[in-house]
Amino acid sequence: MADLRTTFMGLQLRNPIIVASGPLTADIDSLKKCEEAGAGAVVLKSIFEQQIEYVAGKDSEKASEFVGYSDFVDAYKTLSKDYYINQYLELLAEAKQKLSIPVISSINCISIRTWEEFARRFEKVGADAIELNYYPLASNSSVPGEKVDKEAIAFARTARRAIGVPVALKIGFEYSSISSLLRSFEKEKIDGMVLFNHFFRPDIDIDKQDVCGGQAVSNPTEYLESLRWIALMSGELKKADLAAATGVHNGETVIKMLLAGAKAVEINSVLMKNGLGAIATIICQIEKWMADKGYKAVSEFQGKLAQERMHDGEYWERTQFMRTLRRS
Ligand SMILES: Cc1cc2nc3c(=O)[nH]c(=O)nc-3n(C[C@H](O)[C@H](O)[C@H](O)COP(=O)(O)O)c2cc1C
């Protein structure tokens, strides 16, 4: 029997498959099914700072139609905010009570500070770790890249100070120097980085000639950017762990990520498309490959193809389709 155990940010996982934050981790029944289906850990659906602020704002607007006292309206806003946070805390507490695999809570952060309060409360309820979903789109052309990076580092510092349990940052790759940023996150003692999130992207409906939501789920070929950066950085980061996300749809891709040095993978789209049974299929594929190659434990091949461990590791830096001496 292959030993699929791995650790991610100090959490012991029975296998590297983490169900990513999303619709499948939004309620207790589905979370229990993830565990039964064989997941190594789950990341709860993110609590959205922006949404809470918005809904609480709307609720208090309604309240102000009936009551003219601004103190009351402010208090109502706080109550409304608390209501949504409490709902999330109840889900987390129940998940901790009913599941035996690690439960990671998740916050979608828009500002540097306001989410700290949520994180502390999640920690008290027993979250095994907290994943911070951080992605300020650099759309303001008057803000230089350096400032965007500095803010990301300041964000990591705040997160580390505020949170006692392991912290993962789930980020995108559109930074001027992702390698330098990951090193800075490590210096700030961030325990894990999830490379990369698959964000909401607007599209255009040409019939209506209007904007609409782009395809939400990923394709099975979308893993290559994560693979490259995991291979480039897994050997260089000495303390922080990397998990792969986006486009991991089958056992073959999980094996690639592990060879590149990932400690775990986060999956969502394949489960949304094919159901939670996909976890067992992926695990079987990994076990079969390990048996074929004579590996008994994941640790025997994890990071084998990380840049630092290869004699021609610069291959991972290649970006152009020119002919090379070694590989096509
Ligand atoms: C419908 C939907 C909802 C999602 N909700 C969240 C969320 O609340 N928080 C988060 O960090 N990521 C969220 N994600 C991103 C997923 O966690 C995951 O990172 C992404 O889908 C890429 O992985 P995949 O290729 O396996 O789908 C969502 C994705 C989808 C498609």
Question: Is 58 in contact with 76 (CB distance < 8 Å)?
Answer: no
19-31 residue pLDDT tens: 999 999 999 999 9
The pLDDT of residue 119 = 87
Question: Is 95 in contact with 103 (CB distance < 8 Å)?
Answer: yes
Residue 322 — very low, low, confident or very high, per pLDDT cuts 50/70/90? Answer: confident
The answer to whether residue 326 sits within a structural domain is no
| Mean pLDDT within 169-195 | 96
The pLDDT of residue 271 = 98
Nearest ligand 1 atom to alpha carbon 270 = 26
Q: At what angle do helices 116-125 and 145-162 cross, to 10 degrees?
A: 30
How buried is 168 (Cβ within 10 angstroms: 0-12 exposed, 13-18 middle, 19+ buried)? buried
The answer to whether residue 327 sits within a structural domain is no
Residue 160 CB neighbours (<10 A): 15
The answer to whether residue 168 sits within a structural domain is yes
The answer to whether residue 102 sits within a structural domain is yes
The answer to whether residue 323 sits within a structural domain is no
The pLDDT of residue 32 = 98
The answer to whether residue 221 sits within a structural domain is yes
| Mean pLDDT within 210-219 | 96
State how far the Cα of 315 lies from the Cα of 320, in Å rounded to an integer: 11
The pLDDT of residue 56 = 59
The sign one gets for the Cα dihedral 169, 172, 173, 177 is negative
Nearest ligand 1 atom to alpha carbon 199 = 15
Residue 201 — very low, low, confident or very high, per pLDDT cuts 50/70/90? Answer: very high
Q: Which of 31, 115, 197 has the most ligand 1 atoms within 8 A of CB, as the residue to mutate?
A: 197
Cβ(307) to ligand 1 under 6 A?
Answer: no
124-178 residue pLDDT tens: 999 999 999 988 888 999 999 999 999 999 999 999 999 999 999 999 988 889 9
The kind and range of the H/E element at 109 are: strand 103-109
262-314 residue pLDDT tens: 999 999 999 999 999 999 999 999 999 999 999 999 999 999 999 999 999 99
| Mean pLDDT within 12-19 | 98
Amino acid at site 293: K
Closest Cα partner for 275 from 21, 24, 11? 24
The pLDDT of residue 135 = 85
Give the range of the structural domain holding residue 98, as residue numbers without chain letter: 6-317
- Ligand 1 center to 76 CA (angstroms): 32
The answer to whether residue 302 sits within a structural domain is yes
User: Pairing state of beta strands 202-205 and 210-213?
Assistant: antiparallel
* Residue ID of nearest Cα to ligand 1 atom 28: 22
More confident of the two residues 113 and 39: 39
The sign one gets for the Cα dihedral 295, 298, 300, 306 is positive
State how far the Cα of 257 lies from the Cα of 116, in Å rounded to an integer: 31
Nearest ligand 1 atom to alpha carbon 245 = 23
The pLDDT of residue 109 = 83
The answer to whether residue 325 sits within a structural domain is no
How is residue 80 written in tokens? Answer: 């409304």
* Average pLDDT of every residue of the chain: 91
Omega before 118 cis (within 30°)?
A: no
Helices (H), the chain: 28-36, 49-66, 70-98, 116-125, 145-162, 178-187, 224-233, 251-260, 269-274, 277-293
CATH at 254: 3.20.20.70
131 Rama sector, left if φ>0, alpha if ψ -120 to 50, beta otherwise: beta
Number of domains in the chain: 1
- Ligand 1 center to 207 CA (angstroms): 28
DSSP secondary structure code for residue 99 in this structure: -
DSSP, collapsed to helix, strand or coil, labels residue 83 as: helix
Q: Is the pLDDT of residue 326 over 90?
A: no
Q: Which of 110, 198, 269 has the most ligand 1 atoms within 8 A of CB, as the residue to mutate?
A: 198
Question: Is 15 in contact with 264 (CB distance < 8 Å)?
Answer: no
User: What proportion of the chain, given as a percentage, has pLDDT over 70?
Assistant: 87
* Residue ID of nearest Cα to ligand 1 atom 6: 22
Closest Cα partner for 83 from 58, 108, 100? 58
- Ligand 1 center to 224 CA (angstroms): 17
User: What proportion of the chain, given as a percentage, has pLDDT over 90?
Assistant: 76
Q: What is the pTM of this model?
A: 0.91
| Mean pLDDT within 250-256 | 98
DSSP, collapsed to helix, strand or coil, labels residue 9 as: coil
State how far the Cα of 77 lies from the Cα of 148, in Å rounded to an integer: 31
* Residue ID of nearest Cα to ligand 1 atom 8: 46
**For the ranges 48-57, 186-195, 244-253, 308-317, which has the lowest average pLDDT?**
48-57
Residue 115 — very low, low, confident or very high, per pLDDT cuts 50/70/90? Answer: confident
Question: Is 238 in contact with 306 (CB distance < 8 Å)?
Answer: no
